[in-house]
């Protein structure tokens, strides 16, 4: 299998690029700054270009069997009008450019990232891959992102929309912001803590993406999340216990809204997602429970 990766310098992208190369596959990575790619391999080819703009890089895509798009600006920021526009455009524009490049090519596999935020706030409802969208800004972004990606299916390509939850892994991601606070003994649940906290270990995430690339029967939406979703309170307790620190504080909802504005809605709500498509296709998670995942990650933390 040959693979073309967009977003290979991000947190997920770095792990994915390294993992696929370790499987002996050929990888082409689109980058704006080659110095951000620390992995080196005779099977790795770097292409300079901007995924948000049309360019010569689009001609390279059709040389690969599988295209994986991970491009998207961070959502953990204050949602100003400018930030919202950037969150949406980075995802939709990069995806649209990929689809345009695939318009006249032979059938390919296109795996496009997405988010469980697609489902919106759903309380205790158990949500599988094929349930409809919710409401709110992140849901609107995920819907437009998915629509852009599925456009490739009109040209005969297999499209998988991989919905990510909170990604946990060593050296970065969501835990990079949490760990310093918890180490100071200042960690605590958010709001009531009863909201669901969908998550996945970075190792399972990259394994799942590689699995999807190899399974031609997998098409459409795919929840790439641990089958054992926990509440925010459960996660908080598990992280504090792993770090051997107290977590007695609670951050009230109104405090989060004052600090983060509209973005606080993402922190105070969640989705109780299950990876039905992956399970039915035979994928096995190595880290199903949050305690073993955190123990593994923190043992490798730099």
pLDDT digits (tens, 9 = 90+) for 210-221: 999 999 999 999
Half-sphere exposure of 56 (CA within 13 A, CB side): 4
Per-residue pLDDT at 33 exceeds 70 = yes
Mean pLDDT of 173-182: 92
For the beta carbon of residue 262, count every other beta carbon within 10 angstroms: 14
pLDDT tens-place string over residues 48-66: 999 999 999 999 999 999 9
pLDDT tens-place string over residues 261-277: 888 888 989 999 999 99
User: pTM to 2 decimals?
Assistant: 0.96
d(CA 119, CA 228): 17
Per-residue pLDDT at 141 exceeds 90 = yes
* Percentage of the chain lying above the pLDDT 70 cut: 100
Residues 6+ apart with CB under 8 A from 175: 168, 169, 297, 301
Give the least confident one: 28-37, 158-167, 291-300: 28-37
pLDDT tens-place string over residues 153-162: 999 999 999 9
Mean pLDDT of 192-214: 97
d(CA 285, CA 279): 9
Give the least confident one: 40-44, 239-243, 284-288: 40-44
Instruction: Provide the β-strand partners of residue 251.
Output: 190
Per-residue pLDDT at 253 exceeds 90 = no
Task: Match 């006249």 to its residue by tokens.
Answer: 104
pLDDT score at 257: 85
Give the least confident one: 7-11, 38-42, 99-103: 38-42
271: left (phi over 0), alpha (psi -120 to 50) or beta: beta
Per-residue pLDDT at 302 exceeds 90 = no
Per-residue pLDDT at 78 exceeds 90 = no
Query: Is residue 133 packed enough to be buried (19+ CB in 10 Å), middle (13-18) or exposed (0-12)?
Result: middle
Model confidence at 73, in pLDDT bands (50, 70, 90)?
A: very high
DSSP-derived secondary structure letter, 107? P
Task: Match 């295209």 to its residue by tokens.
Answer: 67
Architecture, CATH, for domain 2-171+198-229+272-286: 3-Layer(aba) Sandwich (3.40)
Mean pLDDT of 75-87: 93
Domain map (residue ranges) of the chain? 2-171+198-229+272-286
Q: For residue 77, what are its two tokens?
A: 């920021």
Nearest in space to 68 (alpha carbons), one of 36, 104, 25: 25
d(CA 114, CA 105): 24
Query: Rounded to the nearest 5°, which phi and psi values hold at 172?
Result: 175, -160
Per-residue pLDDT at 254 exceeds 90 = no
Helix 81-101, helix 137-150: angle, nearest 10: 10
pLDDT score at 249: 83
Q: What is the number of helices (H) and of strands (E) in the chain?
A: 11, 16
Task: Calculate ∠ Cα 24-167-29, nearest 5°.
Answer: 40
Distance of alpha carbon 225 from the chain centroid: 9
Mean pLDDT of 135-144: 96
């Amino acid at each position: 299998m040959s693979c073309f990766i967009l977003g290979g310098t991000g947190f997920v992208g770095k792990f994915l690029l390294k993992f696929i190369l370790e499987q002996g596959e050929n990888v082409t990575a689109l980058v704006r700054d080659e110095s951000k790619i620390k992995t080196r391999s005779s099977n790795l080819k770097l292409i300079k270009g901007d995924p948000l703009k049309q360019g010569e890089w689009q001609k390279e895509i059709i040389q690969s069997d599988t295209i994986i798009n991970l491009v998207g600006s961070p959502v953990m920021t204050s949602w100003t009008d400018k930030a919202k526009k950037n969150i949406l455009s980075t995802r939709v524009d990069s995806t649209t450019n990929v689809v345009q490049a695939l318009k006249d090519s032979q059938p390919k596999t296109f795996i496009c990232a997405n988010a469980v935020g697609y489902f919106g706030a759903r309380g205790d409802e158990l949500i599988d891959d094929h349930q409809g969208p919710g409401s709110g800004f992140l849901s609107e972004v995920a819907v437009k992102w998915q629509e852009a990606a599925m456009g490739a299916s009109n040209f005969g390509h297999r499209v998988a929309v991989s919905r990510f939850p909170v990604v946990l892994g060593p050296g970065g991601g969501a835990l990079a912001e949490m760990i310093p606070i918890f180490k100071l003994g200042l960690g605590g649940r958010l709001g009531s803590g009863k909201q669901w906290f969908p998550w996945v270990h970075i190792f399972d995430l990259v394994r799942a993406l590689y699995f999807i690339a190899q399974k031609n029967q997998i098409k459409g939406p795919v929840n790439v999340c641990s089958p054992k979703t926990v509440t925010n309170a459960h996660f908080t307790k598990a992280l504090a216990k792993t770090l051997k620190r107290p977590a007695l504080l609670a951050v009230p909802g109104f405090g989060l809204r004052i600090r983060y504005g509209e973005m606080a809605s993402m922190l105070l709500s969640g989705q109780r997602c299950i990876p039905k498509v992956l399970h039915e296709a035979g994928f096995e998670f190595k880290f199903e429970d949050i305690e073993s995942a955190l123990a593994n990650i923190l043992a490798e933390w730099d």
